[in-house]
Amino acid sequence: MRTLLLRFPDGPLHAGAVLALGVVLAFAPDHFLPMLVRAFLLQWLLFFGVLAGLGAWQRRWWLAGASTGAALLVAMPAVPARTAPAGAVEEADLRIAHLNVFQPNDAFAEVLQAARATDADLLSFQEVDARWASALVQGLGADYPYHRIAPRGNCYGIALFSRRPFEQADVLYLTERPVIDATVRTEAGPVRVLAVHASSPGSYREFRDRNRQLDRLAEVVGASDRPVAVVGDLNTVSWDHALRRLCASTGLRESADAPSATWPSVAGLALIPLDHVLADPALDILAPCSFPIPGSDHRGLVAGLRLHR
pLDDT digits (tens, 9 = 90+) for 34-58: 888 888 888 888 898 888 888 888 8
Q: For residue 159, list its beta bridge partners.
A: 125, 149
Mean pLDDT estimate for the chain? 89
Coil vs helix vs strand at 94: strand
Distances (CA, A) of 263 to 122, 197, 226, 236: 22, 14, 31, 11
Rounded Cα distance between 170 and 194, Å, is: 10
Q: What is the pTM of this model?
A: 0.88
Question: Under a CB-based contact definition with an 8 Å cutoff, are residues 299 and 291 in contact?
Answer: yes
Rounded Cα distance between 255 and 85, Å, is: 8
Rounded Cα distance between 190 and 186, Å, is: 6
**Given this model, what pLDDT does residue 16 score?**
85
Closest Cα to residue 86, out of 225, 250, 255? 255
> Which segments of the chain have a pLDDT < 50?
1, 5, 84
**Given this model, what pLDDT does residue 164 score?**
96
Rounded Cα distance between 165 and 293, Å, is: 26
Question: Under a CB-based contact definition with an 8 Å cutoff, are residues 81 and 254 in contact?
Answer: yes
**Given this model, what pLDDT does residue 228 score?**
97
Rounded Cα distance between 154 and 176, Å, is: 11
Question: Under a CB-based contact definition with an 8 Å cutoff, are residues 279 and 252 in contact?
Answer: yes
Sequence letter at residue 263: W
**Given this model, what pLDDT does residue 277 score?**
96
**CATH class belonging to 89-307:** alpha beta
Rounded Cα distance between 176 and 64, Å, is: 48
Q: Where are the domains of the chain?
A: 2-75, 89-307
Give 192's contacts (C-beta < 8 A, 6+ positions apart): 181, 182, 183, 184, 224, 226, 227, 228, 229
**Given this model, what pLDDT does residue 258 score?**
65
